[in-house]
Structure 1
Amino acid sequence: MSDTDALQPTVDFLRRHAPFAQMGTAELQSLAARAKLAFFARGEVITAPEQGPAEYFYIIKQGRVRGETGGDGEAWELVTGESFPIGALLGHRPVRTRHRAVEDTFCFELPRSEFDRLREASPVFGDFCARRLASLLDQALRRGAPASGTPASSPLGTPLGELTPTPAVIAPASTALRDALTELERDEGEAIAVTDAAGHPAGIITLRDIATRVTLAGRDLATPVGELADAEAPALDITAPAWAAARALAESGRRHLLLTRDGAVAGVVSEAAVVGGDAGLVALARAIADAPDIAALAALQADVHAFIGRLLAQGAGADAITRVVATLNDRLTRAVIHHILAEHGRPRTAFTWLAFGSEGRGEQTLKTDQDNGILFEPADGDVEAARAELLSLAGTINDGLARVGFPLCPGNIMASNPDCCLTAGEWRERFARWIDQGTPQHLLNATVFFDFRPLWGDPEPAAALRGWLGEAVAANSRFRRQMAENALRNRPPLGLFGEIKRSAGDDGRPGVDLKVQGLAPFVDAARLLALAHGVAATHTLDRLEAVVTAGGLDPDDASAWRDAYEFIQWLRMEQHRRQAAAGEPLDNRVDPDGLNELHRRILKEAFRQARKLQARLALDYQL
């Protein structure tokens, strides 16, 4: 038997587990040749802090290993295919976790020198060691394209500077059109990026613009390009993620945007590059804007669902998808309000339409209902008359939103409810009562209402209310402690040793609730951290990032929590996509035993990260 044949069983084993499944044959053969099989009897300690700097990398071949942290009593189990202790090996330090064999266990054992060599030789393994949970998430998304049958290709999480740009000419606004077109023809470009005298964005001229604004309009070729450019074209820095460009394109209804570097124009990028070849986003946004009535808007909901399904099939991350969903839903909401105001006339009192809950956070999925309200200030001081008029209008808007696919809120958190149609002073009074009294119902209300953002109308009153709320919560330590207690009520479903605990749902099926047990711990913790640190953002991941910037969180911890949150959200959305395709009701429960090994492994780690975040709150507030 050749050496290669002798190594084949080990190579085959490694191929069944992440991250090794993504590594090349030569890399796996090298790993198999250098790893030795070690046996650990039940109860035997494999690693411990007192042993000094970690010397070996372990891959569990058979059996189970329990990790114990000691101080907080946290423990979890590692199973076949999982590896440890990566952090200690990277840091050339002792482990912080005592690993003990739960039963007779076999592990492949790789010396630290060979571990370091493998990290340098294999980009896949190096990425896994550096990012761990994020790396596993990437692999899950690459596998998560069952509808397309092809590897995931969505660029929505990619920085704009890494996308393929649209061939373009960069020209100052004073440049004659003839000169710009000559350069465009020479470089085989598709757009002219127009700048002001300082090099800042001044607009775009696309090939379509040349046909409509120049040829058909009979413009003189001596015309400065600045007079012809689309000055409203969006612009973003090359470091911005592609999903931000997708939102900007959808909001503007344009198919190209300007790229900048340190404020100066650096190029042009197209919708196709941003959304991964699917040119349906801007067309969908335009269809919403051009819909002649609410019935036409209702017909577009199926197109929105289909578009989101394609993004999932491409392997787009949940964060990017929910932001795109929020953008499209925002446009649908504004379109409904526009049509109703056009039909019924504008009220005498100006108002701001507020979104609460997941809509307020910009984290909607395919399963969502209405959570909204009105903020107003009557010019003539007659609050009740203004409220009566606005309540009637709000009822019509709520019904219109229901017609286009946003079900009425079962809890009546809607603008047509007098409790949700208030002046700025009344909103402050209501919020102040919740903060001062802090009853269980008040705390529950806070989890929905404190995530508000304006969707229609003047945003300034909402911004002022947000500023007041931040100051009021920051000044009341008792209420923040109550919020922390409330945030710890939804515990991730982990057992004593870190195994996922299933429970029966209303239909009797075993599983876990991804929304309540998985996402809520991150959402509630991020809300509290944001309010405590004066952060105005409402999106959960934006809140975590802003708290890091404010010095309130360790960047590595926040990164792990972001990855965990995004995987749970992705798993939830993928389930919704499958259920919608099958014509089934959408729900948030999933049976971990029905997941593949990689998804089950990441879900367990994601729940463990949720538990770590809750432990941080418990420590901060001495709970």
Structure 2
Amino acid sequence: MADVDIPEVTDFLAEHAPFAAVPREDLEQLGRRLTVRYARRGTHLMSVGKGNDEVFVVRSGAVQITDENGSLVARGGEGTGFGTTALGGRPSRFDVVAIEDSLLLVMASDVFTELADRQPVVRDFFSEQRAARLRHALVSFPQQDRHSAILQTRLRDLLRRAPITTTGETTIREAAELMAREQVSSLLVVDGERLTGIVTDRDLRTRVLAAGLETTRPVSAIMTPDPVTSSPDDLAMELVLQMTSRNIHHMPVVEGDRPLGMLTSTDLMRLERANPIHLVGDVAKAKDLDALVLLSQRLPRIIDQLVHEDATADGIGRIITAVGDAIEKRLLTMGEQLLGPAPVPYAWIVLGSQARLEQGPGSDQDNALVLADEVRPEQLAWFESLASFVGDGLVACGYPPCPGGIMASNPEWRRPLHEWKRMFARWINEPTPDAVLRSAIFFDLRLLHGERTLVEPLQAQVSATARQSGRFLAHLARNAARNEPPLGFFRGFVLERKGEHKDTVDLKRGGFHAIVEIARVQALSRGLPQVNTLARISAAAGAGALAAETAADLHDAFEFIRYVRLVHQARQLREGHEPDSFVSPDELSSFEKRHLRDAFHIVRSAQQTVVQSYPLGFVT
């Protein structure tokens, strides 16, 4: 290296990651192969779309990195490295400009490649930059159709007036007069400054007028105690999710126990995205199947609006699931009204994406029935009729049958509790590849309707026993690793080779569904109760099953891949096509292609970790 002292450069590199972890001897050899370049302030060191064959480390000065949209990605001073993403002449994804007069250490691509091959810590460090780019992509996703960020607004900024409150000793008549005077549809009941309950106009109708209750009684007799509340720092999107999933229309906003105000579904009327709140409410009141079918036809438009505004993929999945839950619950109550009371207690459970709160457009049915052990053979016909009624109704509302037949209408999935316990024990304690592959969906389980006491024993059994079965976990791990992400040579994608989806990229099998399987095995390995994939990832990290960095990367990859799929599916819905997970590369922007590759690399890396964590070699 001309004009630079090798020991000085070696000392400098040893102070900065990832070179601090490289042996001194290797750093000295590296120093001899570096060159020095001076860049005046304003010099473009890399440009979007142009190739590069060098890796840079800032010796002094500073650089700024922006993406193709001009959004700031990072600023860095001494020790900042860049250039690895465009080695080999690949088009750069970023602009890099010196924002101060800078001195740069420069290594040729072959020098960097040799070092990375010898020192995995260097390779891993620069691979982590891929995760950082994906994280940046999630917040800068091209959203030319997004006109508003209202769903990202804090609730404190949506409050328009101080809360209207009363005490529990106030009479019902006085409370009604106060609501009329203030022109509000609800009151917050307080004890001092502490929220203790809520009374709505619906309570006055159903608990007072319809019940003939004396209006001289205290309002505490009709209030809902300890209501669900939100924090002023919650986002409007979270308010929509709470109202949709719980089918409520009033939400007190509290700081600690002190109410700051009330937000209602009416406050969100200016947002067409708030329609899922009203849709869920309308579904709960639907009189017959024809009404349900008409209501279900409102969902595609809501999905399209959510996708092209400012909702996250996770939020959209939760809203789609809340609507699906409401439709299925209403069909169950209709079925009970048609058939009469159930002969024995039962639990209707949902499985797979619905259980995980991750349904998408076109999701099929996955459900089952857990019956009380006292059920008699002659009583089974009632449950067969219920399952058929609900299954047929779901088809009419746009939820196709499960291709694998995992539905309560299949007698195999209508069983007494003791038989379910025996089946889960067999899956866990005597696993076979086919059985585990087929049964994996049952480990994503959630009660939708009926007796919780029939489901809790199964959940407790899984939490207690799955973590102790190495063979079972190894089978699950093999399933998680078997579907490789669709990454090909030369940074291209592996396309489907035949069939109706020929020449498309499957975003599901080796993409977000691979993350679902990774999250499942890691959560079950620690006996964690979570079912939602992102919740499982977070819980697994907290329990030590996943490194914090890996969990963060999987979270971002899961969100990005699902969002790209939702954009694709929203387009299909607008064009009158059935939604699927197969995307043509021609349909993807350069931004989406680049960051999908980053996401798929993260999935592949996590799969390799799973392979190393479980004894797959003993699984046959």
Q: What's the offset of the Cα at 1:459?
A: 1.8
Q: What's the offset of the Cα at 1:523?
A: 0.4
Is residue 2:574 matched to residue 1:581? yes
- 1:212 and 1:467 map into 2 onto residues whose CA distance is 38
One-letter amino acid matched to 1:516 = R
1:469 alignment counterpart: 462
Given that 2:40 and 2:101 are in contact with CA atoms closer than 8 Å, whether structure 1 keeps it comes out as: no
Q: What's the offset of the Cα at 1:151?
A: 2.1
1:609 alignment counterpart: 602
One-letter amino acid matched to 2:450 = G
SS of residue matched to 2:308: helix
Match of 1:402 among 391, 395, 400: 395
Q: What's the offset of the Cα at 1:551?
A: 3.6
1:564 alignment counterpart: 557
- 1:211 and 1:418 map into 2 onto residues whose CA distance is 43
Query: For 1:107-118, what aligned pairs fall within 5 Å after superposition?
Result: 109-111=96-98
Is residue 2:264 matched to residue 1:270? yes
- 1:181 and 1:577 map into 2 onto residues whose CA distance is 45
SS of residue matched to 1:268: strand
TM-score (ref. length: structure 2): 0.76
2:350 alignment counterpart: 355
One-letter amino acid matched to 2:529 = A
Q: What's the offset of the Cα at 1:555?
A: 3.5
- 1:346 and 1:223 map into 2 onto residues whose CA distance is 35
SS of residue matched to 2:370: strand
Aligned length: 548
1:434 alignment counterpart: 427
Q: What's the offset of the Cα at 1:526?
A: 0.7
SS of residue matched to 1:510: coil
- Summarize the Cα distance change of 1:498–1:427 in structure 2 as closer, same or farther, 3 Å threshold: farther
1:151 alignment counterpart: 147
SS of residue matched to 2:322: helix
Q: What's the offset of the Cα at 1:85?
A: 10
Q: Deviations along 1:36-79, whole A, 9 cap, x unmatched?
A: 3469x9994414xxx79897658699xxxxxxxxxxxxxxxxxx
Is residue 2:319 matched to residue 1:288? no
Query: For 1:414-433, what aligned pairs fall within 5 Å after superposition?
Result: 414-433=407-426
2:253 alignment counterpart: 259
1:102 alignment counterpart: 88
Given that 1:258 and 1:269 are in contact with CA atoms closer than 8 Å, whether structure 2 keeps it comes out as: yes
Structure 2, unmatched stretches of 5+, are: 1-38, 103-128
- Summarize the Cα distance change of 1:265–1:550 in structure 2 as closer, same or farther, 3 Å threshold: farther
- Summarize the Cα distance change of 1:396–1:171 in structure 2 as closer, same or farther, 3 Å threshold: closer
Is residue 2:574 matched to residue 1:595? no
Match of 2:44 among 12, 36, 49: 36
Q: What's the offset of the Cα at 1:572?
A: 1.5
- 1:224 and 1:463 map into 2 onto residues whose CA distance is 38
Q: Deviations along 1:104-131, whole A, 9 cap, x unmatched?
A: 988854458689xxxxxxxxxxxx9996
- Summarize the Cα distance change of 1:268–1:489 in structure 2 as closer, same or farther, 3 Å threshold: same
- 1:209 and 1:388 map into 2 onto residues whose CA distance is 39
Given that 2:62 and 2:101 are in contact with CA atoms closer than 8 Å, whether structure 1 keeps it comes out as: no
2:240 alignment counterpart: 246
CA RMSD of aligned residues (A): 4.3
Query: For 1:302-317, what aligned pairs fall within 5 Å after superposition?
Result: 302-317=297-312
Given that 1:172 and 1:199 are in contact with CA atoms closer than 8 Å, whether structure 2 keeps it comes out as: no
Q: What's the offset of the Cα at 1:487?
A: 0.5
Q: Deviations along 1:124-153, whole A, 9 cap, x unmatched?
A: xxxx9996433322322633x2xxxx5243
Mean CA deviation greater in 269-278 or 578-587: 269-278
Q: What's the offset of the Cα at 1:362?
A: 1.5
SS of residue matched to 1:245: helix
Query: For 1:159-558, what aligned pairs fall within 5 Å after superposition?
Result: 161=155, 163-169=157-163, 171-174=165-168, 192-196=187-191, 199-204=194-199, 226=220, 234-238=228-232, 240=234, 242-271=236-265, 277-278=271-272, 279-379=274-374, 382=376, 384-496=377-489, 498-507=491-500, 509-558=502-551
- 2:288 and 2:243 map into 1 onto residues whose CA distance is 23
- Summarize the Cα distance change of 1:334–1:265 in structure 2 as closer, same or farther, 3 Å threshold: same
- 1:325 and 1:313 map into 2 onto residues whose CA distance is 15
1:46 alignment counterpart: 55
Q: What's the offset of the Cα at 1:183?
A: 10
Q: What's the offset of the Cα at 1:274?
A: 5.9
1:67 alignment counterpart: none
Q: What's the offset of the Cα at 1:411?
A: 1.5
Structure 1, unmatched stretches of 5+, are: 1-30, 62-79, 116-127
One-letter amino acid matched to 2:147 = P
Q: What's the offset of the Cα at 1:485?
A: 1.4
- 2:206 and 2:411 map into 1 onto residues whose CA distance is 50
SS of residue matched to 1:547: helix
- 1:205 and 1:525 map into 2 onto residues whose CA distance is 44
- 1:56 and 1:280 map into 2 onto residues whose CA distance is 49
One-letter amino acid matched to 1:136 = A
Q: What's the offset of the Cα at 1:263?
A: 4.2
Given that 1:470 and 1:534 are in contact with CA atoms closer than 8 Å, whether structure 2 keeps it comes out as: yes
- 2:510 and 2:419 map into 1 onto residues whose CA distance is 34
Given that 1:259 and 1:267 are in contact with CA atoms closer than 8 Å, whether structure 2 keeps it comes out as: yes
Given that 1:351 and 1:375 are in contact with CA atoms closer than 8 Å, whether structure 2 keeps it comes out as: yes
Mean CA deviation greater in 412-421 or 259-268: 259-268
1:133 alignment counterpart: 134
Query: For 1:50-69, what aligned pairs fall within 5 Å after superposition?
Result: 57=63
SS of residue matched to 2:500: coil
- Summarize the Cα distance change of 1:253–1:45 in structure 2 as closer, same or farther, 3 Å threshold: closer
SS of residue matched to 2:511: helix
TM-score (ref. length: structure 1): 0.75
- Summarize the Cα distance change of 1:494–1:202 in structure 2 as closer, same or farther, 3 Å threshold: same
Given that 1:160 and 1:237 are in contact with CA atoms closer than 8 Å, whether structure 2 keeps it comes out as: no
- Summarize the Cα distance change of 1:470–1:254 in structure 2 as closer, same or farther, 3 Å threshold: closer
SS of residue matched to 1:584: coil
SS of residue matched to 1:553: coil
Mean CA deviation greater in 129-138 or 366-375: 129-138
Larger radius of gyration: 2
Given that 1:204 and 1:230 are in contact with CA atoms closer than 8 Å, whether structure 2 keeps it comes out as: yes
- 2:432 and 2:252 map into 1 onto residues whose CA distance is 50
- 2:512 and 2:200 map into 1 onto residues whose CA distance is 44
- 1:337 and 1:266 map into 2 onto residues whose CA distance is 38
SS of residue matched to 1:101: helix
SS of residue matched to 1:329: helix
- Summarize the Cα distance change of 1:32–1:308 in structure 2 as closer, same or farther, 3 Å threshold: farther
Q: What's the offset of the Cα at 1:188?
A: 9.9
- 2:598 and 2:588 map into 1 onto residues whose CA distance is 14
SS of residue matched to 2:608: helix
- 1:181 and 1:131 map into 2 onto residues whose CA distance is 55
Q: What's the offset of the Cα at 1:336?
A: 0.4
Q: Deviations along 1:485-532, whole A, 9 cap, x unmatched?
A: 110111111234544333335226412111112111110001111111
Mean CA deviation greater in 492-501 or 355-364: 492-501
